[in-house]
Structure 1
């Protein structure tokens, strides 16, 4: 029987068993939100049947029926079979079809405003009675109201699978689905390999997902019939979707005024999210100087591998468990709990009963509440090795981990000694501080500026060095010890009596402007602890001297290497890529993970120091600004920093934000790749700065010409190309077009899809080559100067 094609006189949302949809015809949901029909992607002629947002022209496809079997021309037609199933045909071949077990009576196919394509019996709109629905067979997008998980009655698994590419919706390498363990949890899989796990649902959120999604009510349902995650919107006027794109799942929000998707959250968000990074019985912390640390009572299985930052072999017990009352449980706060492969769950007992259950079972390694709402309830026990544990910056939950009683006794003795020593040392520091303050007061210092410094530094938990100690260490600030100079003073190398090498930043006398920066730097760095930030050892304010004492970086500043034709040859691409990641991690900490939200405002190559292993350390916080709460931007009438690294909105209008640092990072990224400073470069008949030069090569599809000739043999082309792409996204004209540093790390460390960069922001006038910049410890100052010549605003 030949079914007639439906003749559309107006937009309709359904077809009956006697109608069909041919290529060029569509169904539109009742409220005009979604549309069903045939479409092509990119420049291909392949045709797909799918669903998309009707009024969103960019990246609007949310479901594809024949994603693995495209139609080669416009001959496709969607019809009902005699059994009531939908069937997509190309000529005489079946391309795709539905199947269901329920009895069909006058079936109707309808596209709903939720984006769900349903087959139902005519007149029956009860969702529980749908014969079939596309929400049960998702593609790469999770819409509000969709279920991600399992129907235990039928064995149906609902999971997301990435597209192969933006122009190819066929099944990609990554999927996001629910593992049916005793304590279920979601995984992102790369093929059959685990790539990332969310952690189990703890009543409030997934244990390993620290970001709270705004405008969403999330829920996890677990019963005898179903296990699934779903979300609804608090404000239905906002368009939100969750997509799996390569190795990450991302929350996208449509910005109607700007006509673009804003990526709100990308997960996984940092290195500690990578599955199994630290191996068994270890915890991963992105803010620690060493990312992976063995749990209390455990030591690295291979110390040699551990020392090289290869942590995947994990840790082993120092002492065997004695079981029952002789063992103790160490409480870890704010944790992504271990993988739940070998767990036992009882939702009806409390934490004390849970502790007793674990204590009486010699194989039990850890326990916690299964539901952390309120005072907590339920019990989860872990058996065997504890795998993929992470310290969460926000979120997470308490976790109690077993420790040998004898190991704990020794630990307590060490703790007692440490506490006693710390109290004594703290007392000595306090006495010394009191002495210094009294000495200053007895001298009746008349300078208001000095009084200001004293009052602001007096309450810092930071060692105050005696001036004699520092003058001895630097050989009385000998010229032979001088290693750098900047706008506010000089930097000297020194050696303390205990043999430690230090870098001493000496503020110029009479520099009223520099005093403010001195106080800022002390107060900021004293509160910051991260492996990619330079460590402040102490300070000295005595007489006219104002000194900052830093750890010494043996390899100096980044600019002294990458801009040197000889030294640059010894910094190959893997080392440069390592440095890029380290700088990005440091910025993520400043912008997001530290107790204060900090904008550096003077990120550049000379303010990145390298230790003996070429680990990068961001330095010089004299220009930095702090924010509290959710504030991310500010303005100033006093423009400080270094031209060439400044974002346009900051240099011109004094507006700064975390996106100002992102702009500076983009410049620095280009400099690391090409080994040139951001200054005038010739390209054809044009004189361009480095950004303009990179953009021109990008448009000409010759971006790889940027690569420093000294690293061409060692570079990984795909990594370099991604770095260039990311750098151009970072230097966009408008702050809202630049990614966050969290997104930057994600883009650099994965194969995720990236948007095309727009024309970068250039200064529309010539800028003098005088550098307004601060000094950095450990290095002779290089010329981070820039002349930008006759460039039109883009």
Structure 2
């Protein structure tokens, strides 16, 4: 009865409201049309024409359709793939680049044999002939069950597929752009199980408005050296990347290159090839421009505009063989190339050389000893050098001694290099395309006759003697200056103590070396020097409304942190040392001197300090989103951190640690890495803060032993917590714990009583070992995250929290693990953490005194 009544009512409504039916049908037609225009698939027998496009799903990143590259010639149309929603249109692939459609009615069709065709309807307009074929994928093959279909992926890949897999892929036939997910090989890739039959090149457009193949093409060395080249007009080498070291190319002075996901592989189908996987955003691309420049663009999240983050060649010495063979190129202050012959060589044509024509380069003078039947040849190390072209890999040589001997015994060998990642590389008697790098520590061992080496050693000895004399004079001057300063300082202190209490005197006199305005001229990331300002206490009070509780941002082991506003309107974070914090003068001085010298986008910036009476205050840049733990462990804010943001935070912390451990001049171990010490700026970019516990490593030091253990429970590595030994691997351990906190959304110490595990690391390993790692993921991100990526991060975190420091990867290796899909070693079970209660019980022994302040613990160790 109910069903019949429903039908009766609908029929009555339909008969009385025919207009409603018309509107409903019109709505359904519009919906169907809209669905058709936003599909990502082209079926056999169908075509794409006019303004219709295919849109990638599910994220709608890319679009396929016809477009006019030159606004002055709107009738010249090309089939292309471009980023959807970015203005102006950014095209990443073009099909018919050598044959534009001119009829105004082109179409894309997929034949029954699986062939994509771009057709021009010019001849078919008047019905006299078939449309003209402008381009074809050349993939005709018998159709499998289910047939073929063409689809556009969110990666930007246009594919012809069947249920058996891809038959054709635009990534195998690139134009001028390298996108994330592309392979770069000598021979173009093809369907699974076999390579393509054409050479793989990324060829520039003829001009900014003409997609026709231009003069420049980028590809891999067909001789198998693994280097990337840009050729001009076919065979003329325009630029060379240099050899691959395992993390970057020798000739590309871009430190984060390997962070962007370049990995080298070698397989039976493709041979030696690279795979590019963007690690931070899919909106990143490399393009070969019409002028021959290889450039990397990235979209700014704030403005959705492309910004240049890298380009090559970027200076006069990066053009191939700028100085000819056996000569070194150096960029002068005017930006022009300056050529000098290598040691033991002289210009081949003096007149041309003096006139600035260096194409002929230099020739040996004197000859090698082996060339004139004499002995005594040796090697001169040349540092910061882009290794020459045409190297030979000595696969049978296992160490540097063997590599040196191999080159020495071969009179045709002109230089050699040996590293653990590249093995033994040797060169012939022509050393081509050498230039001096601004960064890097790449050394070339140049073969020279004994006479040239003796001259070099004599000059070196003279330089050493002069340096020693100058050093002695400087030390004497410093001692004299110190003695005079000490007498003056003592007089000032006696006068000061006569007017003030002894307590204030002792504290503030120790700060005289900080209370001056300190200027640091170290090289920093933005190329500028930074000056540390000293503020008065009155200014700090005015900035924070007399340290009002309403301005209080939080409180840590050091003391409270307030929001302040300087007279110019700049917002700052004011960190005030608490008298009973347990962290006193030593930590304060350490943080002021240390962090002021460290400048990196993933480190918080120290703006100034205040030392007055008993007050010790630090002034930082203001982080509007406070610290990571304010989001990660706050139920009201956790959902604001989706997996994409969490992964970006993991990567940002890793980049900050990479700078501290390897790329900064100081080589710093943080020692207190935790969620509350990771601050977030307005764009949720992470910045490592709180360097009061940090220590500087010098020279060849790999670890320290301290009798004062500082850090936070749950983050400290076993060797540090129990033996006082710390190194860069101690920070790696803390970083591993931090990754697990970011994934789970739970504090490390919250697992203290969970299934007999001391902390999060032991529990995570147990879940991973039992194939339950997915249960670790924060339920708020479990549905939307990339499960494969999250589980890989869990795996990396477990490697970072290994019991023994030498079993943990270093930060550069961790970054490579995060940015690639390479296989990972299996972690060992964290036995020390699973027996945590036994370890914890030993801390009550009479030989150890432990003090815990807030979330920071300090342990004093004494010998038994």
TM-score tier (shorter):
0.5 to 0.7
Aligned to 2:149: 108
> 1:238–1:254: 8 Å Cα contact kept in structure 2?
no
Q: Which residue of 1 aligns with 2:132?
A: 93
Distance (whole Å) between structure 2 residues aligned to residue 317 and residue 251 of structure 1: 40
Q: Counterparts of 2:237 and 2:54 in 1: how far apart (Å)?
A: 39
Once the two structures are superposed, residues 134-162 of structure 1 have per-residue CA deviations (whole angstroms, 9 ceiling, x without a partner) of 11111111111112222285442222112
Q: 1:338 to 1:102 in 2, by over 3 A?
A: farther
CA gap of 1:9–1:224, structure 2 versus 1, over 3 A, is: closer
Matches within 5 A, 1:683-702: none
Q: Classify 1:270/1:630 alpha carbon distance in 2 versus 1 (closer, same or farther; 3 Å).
A: farther
**Residues 247-396 of structure 1: matches in 2 within 5 Å?**
247-286=292-331, 291-302=338-349, 306=353, 310-323=357-370, 326-340=376-390, 343-346=392-395, 349-369=398-418, 372=419, 375-376=420-421, 378-395=423-440
Q: How does 1:72-91 map to 2 (within 5 A)?
A: 72-81=102-111, 83-91=113-121
What is the CA distance between 1:12 and its match in structure 2?
A: 1.6
- Distance verdict in 2 for CA 1:377–1:39, change over 3 Å: closer
**Pair 1:160-2:202 in alignment:** yes
Partners of 2:88 and 2:396 in 1: CA distance: 45
What's the CA shift string for 1:171-199, capped at 9, x where partnerless? Answer: 22222111212423111222242221111
Distance 1:304 1:376, change over 3 A: same
Deviation at 1:331, TM superposition (A): 2.2
Once the two structures are superposed, the pairs formed by residues 750-765 of structure 1 within 5 Å of their partners are: none
Deviation (angstroms), 1:338: 0.5
SS of the residue corresponding to residue 369 of structure 2 reads coil
Asked if the contact 1:182/1:344 (under 8 Å) is kept, the reply is no
Counterpart of 1:213 in structure 2 is 257
2: distance between equivalents of 1:592 and 1:78?
48
Question: CA 1:380 to 1:215, structure 2 compared with 1: closer, same or farther past 3 Å?
Answer: closer
CA displacement 1:397-438 (0-9 Å, x = unmatched): 332221112211222123223322332344345546656776
Gap runs ≥5 in structure 2: 1-31, 122-130, 189-194, 494-515, 532-595, 609-620, 622-682, 684-864
Change (3 A) 1:58 1:395: farther
The answer to whether structure 1 residue 22 and structure 2 residue 49 are counterparts is yes
**SS of equivalent to 2:466:** helix
Q: Which of residues 187, 191, 212 is equivalent to 1:151?
A: 187
TM-score by length of 1: 0.53
Within-5 A mapping of 1:21-40: 21-31=48-58, 32-40=60-68
Q: Secondary structure at the match of 1:336?
A: coil
Q: With a CA cutoff of 8 Å and minimum separation of 6, indicate the structure with the bigger relative contact order.
A: 1
Cα displacement string for residues 695-717 of structure 1 (whole angstroms, at most 9, x for unaligned residues): xxxxxxxxxxxxxxxxxxxxxxx
Q: 1:84 to 1:376 in 2, by over 3 A?
A: closer
- Is 2:413–2:428's contact at 8 Å kept on the other side of the alignment? yes
CA gap of 1:255–1:433, structure 2 versus 1, over 3 A, is: closer
The offset of 1:254, in angstroms, is: 1.4
2:231 alignment partner in structure 1: 189
Secondary structure, in 3 states, of the residue corresponding to 1:257?
Answer: coil
Conserved? CA contact 1:321–1:327, under 8 Å: yes
Sort the Cα spacing of 1:288 and 1:263 in 2 relative to 1 into closer, same or farther, 3 A: closer
Distance 1:444 1:215 in 2: 50
Q: Kindly state the Cα deviation for residue 446 of structure 1 after the two structures are TM-superposed.
A: 9.1
1:174 and 2:216 matched: yes
- C-alpha change, 1:399 and 1:188, in structure 2 (3 Å) is same
Aligned to 2:244: 201
Asked if 1 retains the 8 angstrom alpha-carbon contact of 2:247 and 2:258, the reply is no
- What SS does the aligned partner of 2:257 have? coil
User: In the TM superposition, what whole-angstrom CA distance separates every residue of 1:730-754 from its partner, at most 9, and x where no partner exists?
Assistant: xxxxxx9xxxxxxxxxxxxxxxxxx
User: SS at 1:424's partner residue?
Assistant: helix
Q: Could you say if the C-alpha distance between residues 198 and 437 of structure 1 is closer, same or farther in structure 2, counting changes exceeding 3 Å?
A: same
Structure-to-structure mapping, 1:604-615, within 5 angstroms: none
1:23-53 CA-to-partner distances (Å, cap 9, x unmatched) read 2221122222211111122422121111111
Against the structure 1 CA distance between its residues 351 and 168, is the aligned structure 2 distance closer, same or farther, given a 3 Å change threshold?
same
Please tell me whether residue 629 in structure 1 is matched to residue 674 in structure 2. no
Question: Whole-Å Cα distance in 2 between the matches of residues 394 and 409 of structure 1?
Answer: 29
Give the corresponding residue for 1:52.
82
Q: Which of 119, 136, 143 is matched with 2:160 structurally?
A: 119
Q: List per-residue Cα deviations over 1:69-116 (Å, max 9, x = no partner).
A: 111243101123454311111122111111137544322212122111
CA distance in 2, matches of 1:165, 1:9: 36
- Give the match's secondary structure for 1:364: coil
1:275, distance to aligned residue in structure 2 (A) = 1.4
Please tell me whether the aligned partners of residues 346 and 380 of structure 1 are also in contact (alpha carbons under 8 angstroms): no
Match of 1:687?
Answer: none
Measured after TM superposition, the shift of residue 309 of structure 1 is: 5.1
Q: CA deviation at 1:362?
A: 0.7
Q: TM-score, normalized by length of structure 2?
A: 0.49
CA gap 1:101/1:436 in 2 versus in 1, 3 angstroms: same
Match of residue 645 from structure 2: none
CA distance in 1: counterparts of 2:327 and 2:297, whole angstroms: 33
Equivalent positions of 1:432-451 (< 5 A) are none
Distance (whole Å) between structure 2 residues aligned to residue 316 and residue 29 of structure 1? 58
State the distance in 1 between where 2:489 and 2:41 align. Answer: 88
What RMSD, in angstroms, separates the aligned Cα atoms of the two structures?
3.9
Instruction: For 1:299-698, list aligned pairs within 5 A.
Output: 299-302=346-349, 306=353, 310-323=357-370, 326-340=376-390, 343-346=392-395, 349-369=398-418, 372=419, 375-376=420-421, 378-395=423-440, 397-431=442-476, 597-598=528-529, 628-630=598-600
SS of the aligned residue for 2:402 comes to helix
**1:740: which partner in 2?**
none
SS of residue in 2 equivalent to 1:21: strand
**What displacement does 1:354 show?**
1.9
Provide the rounded CA distance (Å) in 2 between the counterparts of 1:262 and 1:413.
Answer: 51
Paired residue total? 468
Secondary structure class of the residue paired with 1:156: coil
| Compared CA separation, residues 58 and 599, structure 1 to 2 (3 A) | farther
**Structure 2 CA distance for partners of 1:444 and 1:78, relative to 1, 3 Å:** closer
- C-alpha separation in 1, matches of 2:355 and 2:199: 41
Q: Who is 1:41 aligned against?
A: 69
CA distance in structure 2 between the aligned counterparts of 1:107 and 1:131, rounded to whole angstroms: 9
CA displacement at 1:163 relative to structure 2: 1.7
CA distance in 2, matches of 1:636, 1:51: 47
Q: Is the 8 A contact 1:182 1:343 kept in 2?
A: no
Distance 1:401 1:317 in 2: 12
